[in-house]
Amino acid sequence: MIQKLQHKYALSYEGAVDMVKACISVTVTNISLMMTAGVLYMLISDMLSGGLKKDRIGLYAVGSIVVLVLIAVTNFIQYNATFLSTYKESGVRRTTLAETLRKLPLSYFGKKNIADLTTNVMGDCAQIETASSHWIPELIGAVISTTMVGISLFFFFDWRMVLASFWVIPVAFIIVITCSGAEKRIVRKLSGVKLDLADGIQECLETVRDLRANNAQQRYMDELEKKIRKVEKEALLAELNMAVYVNSASIILRIGIGTTALVGGLLFANGEISLLTFFMFLMLVSRLYDPMQITLQNFAAIIACGVQCERLDEVLSHEQQTGSEELSNKGYDIVFDHVGFSYEDGEQVLKDVSFTAKQNEVTALIGPSGGGKTTVSRLAARFWDVTEGKITLGGMDVGQTDPETLLSNYSIVFQDVTLFNNSILENIRIGKKGASDEEVINAAKLANCDEFVELLPEGYNTNIGENGSELSGGERQRISIARAFLKDAPVILLDEATASLDAENETMIQEALSKLIKDKTVLIIAHRMRTIANADHIVVLKDGVVAEEGKPEELMKKAGLYAHMVSQQMAAQNWRI
C-alpha cells in the first residue's frame, strides 16, 4: 500500500507513511466529533424515560468534558499529521525532484521545455501539497468514519432507518467516479494549453528585441491572445464538467433527507421506532450531508489532481544515470568503439563511429552542420548514453561511471554560454568551487578577459546582468573559457569555443590553450579551419559517420571532404562586397 501511495501521489516513503497517519487521525477526529451526538442522545433518552437522576448528572458532565478533551487532542494530532507533515513532505518532494532532475540524462531535457519543468517543480508540487493537506486525508477520514458510524447504527438501531439515510452516499460517490475519465482528459488538455501559454510568454520575454526589430510585436501578441483564450475555454470546460457531476451527486444527497423522513415517519406511525430515534436520524442526516458534499468536491479535486501526480511520478520514476563513483581510468585517451546513437524518436544520429582522441594531443571534430560533432562531444562526457558500442576514458567505460564523478575529469566550453546574474569573479569561480580571487583572476587573464574587465566600473566585481546581458558575445565566451582554465581538468572539450571571437582574440586564446593542453586530452569542435590548423588529429564527420580522419597535411593530400572545406573557407575569406 505504501508503494502504491508513493507512485500515485509522488510521495517519499516517509510521506506515504505520514499520509496513512493523517487519514487515521482524521478518522479518529471525525468519530470524536460524533461522540457529542451520542452523549446528547443518551441524555435526552434518560430525560424522556423518567427524568434525569442526580447520580447521572455528574456522569454526563464528566463524559462531556472527556469528549471535549478528546476532540481537542485529536484535532491537535490531526493538524500535525496533515498540515505539518504535508509541508515537510512538500520540501522533501521539491528537493527529491531537483536531485532527480540532476541525475537524468540530457536526452530527457531535450523533450522538455523550461515552462514544463518549472510547472513540475512549482505548480504540480503546490497542487499535490494542497491535495495532501486538505483533500486526501479529509476524504479518506470521512469515508471510513461514516462507514463505521453506519455499521454501528445498523447493529444498534433500526436497519431500515440506516438504509434510508445512507443509501445516497455510495450512489453520490459512484456519480463522481464516473466523471474521472472525462475529467482527467480535460485536465490533461488544460495542462497542455497552460504550458503552451507559459512557454509563449517566456518566449515573448526572451525574444522581445527580435520582435521589435522585425515589427512583429502585434502579430505575436495576437497569437498569445489566442493561447490565453484557449486556456480560458479549457478551464471553463474543466469546471463545468466537474460541476455537473458534483452537483448531481449533491442533489442525490438531498434526496436522502426525504427518504429518511418518509421511512422514519412510516415506522414511527406504526410504532416500530421511538420519537427519539426518529429525531436522531433526522439530526444525523442534517449534520452528515453538508460535510459529505464538501467531501465529494474534494473527491472530484483529487481525481483532477491525478494528472499532476502522474506528471511528477513520470519525472521521479524516470531511469537515472548511475555508475561507479570510483575512477579506474589509466590515462586520458578517449576511445569511441563502434558507437551508435539514436534519439528516443528513432532518429539515427551516429552510426558505427570509431576513433581515438589521444592524451597530449588536440583532436578536432569537423564536418557539415548536422553531422554529429556536438553529439560526439556530449557522449564523451556522458551527457547522453550510447545506444550501440562503447566509449572509454583511459580504458574506463564512461557508461558505467557516475556522471558527476566522470565530469571531474572534464573542462567544457559550450557553444551557447550560460552566465549568472552575478559578478564576473563569481561567474568564473563556478569552474572551481572555493577558488581564491587570485586563481580566478589568473584564469581570466589566460582567457584574455582582463582586456575588457579593466574597462568596467567595478572590474571583476562588476555585475554582468541576467545571462551576461551587459557583455558582448565575445566577452561572454571568454568568461566561459576562463572557467575551463580555472578547473584545469585533464580533458578539455571545446564546442565552437572561439566562434564569437575576432581573429586577434582567437589567436591569443589559442596560444593560451597551447599552454593548457600539456599532458591533456583536447577534443575541439570547430567550423573555422584556422581554429584547428595546428590540431594533431582531425576527425571528419558527415551524416553521422566518420568520413575521414588523420593529420591535417595527410587529409589535404587526399583531396577529400576536409580539403574541400578548407578551399571553401579560403574562397569565403577572399570575398568582398
Element (H, E) at 557: helix 552-558
Q: How far apart, in whole angstroms, are the C-alpha atoms of residue 200 and residue 224?
A: 7
Q: What is the pLDDT of residue 401?
A: 92
Q: What is the pLDDT of residue 138?
A: 79
Q: What is the pLDDT of residue 48?
A: 66
Q: How far apart, in whole angstroms, are the C-alpha atoms of residue 465 and residue 321?
A: 33
The pTM score is 0.68
Q: Going from the first residue of the chain to its last (577 residues), give the mean pLDDT of each consecutive group of 10, the final group possibly shorter.
A: 70 76 82 73 68 67 81 81 78 80 77 72 75 78 82 82 87 85 83 84 81 84 90 87 84 86 88 82 77 80 78 79 88 93 79 92 87 88 90 93 90 83 90 89 87 87 82 82 88 77 68 73 81 84 90 86 79 58
Grid coordinates representing 239 are 469546471
Q: What is the pLDDT of residue 52?
A: 60
User: What is the total residue count of the chain?
Assistant: 577
Q: What is the pLDDT of residue 314?
A: 77
Q: How far apart, in whole angstroms, are the C-alpha atoms of residue 406 and residue 425?
A: 26
Rounded to 5°, the CA angle 146-149-152 comes to 150
Dihedral sign computed on CA atoms, order 381, 385, 386, 391: positive
Concatenating the DSSP letter of every residue in 182-207 gives HHHHHHHHHHHHHHHHHHHHHHHHHT
Domain residue extents for the chain: 2-316, 324-406+520-577
Of 129, 118, 124, 122, nearest to 84 by C-alpha is: 129
Mapping DSSP onto H, E and C, the string for 28-86 reads HHHHHHHHHHHHHHHHHHHHHCCCCCHHHHHHHHHHHHHHHHHHHHHHHHHHHHHHHHH
Q: What is the pLDDT of residue 240?
A: 86
CATH number of this structure's domain 2-316: 1.20.1560.10
Q: How many CB atoms lie within 10 A of CB 418?
A: 11
Fold of 324-406+520-577: Rossmann fold (3.40.50)
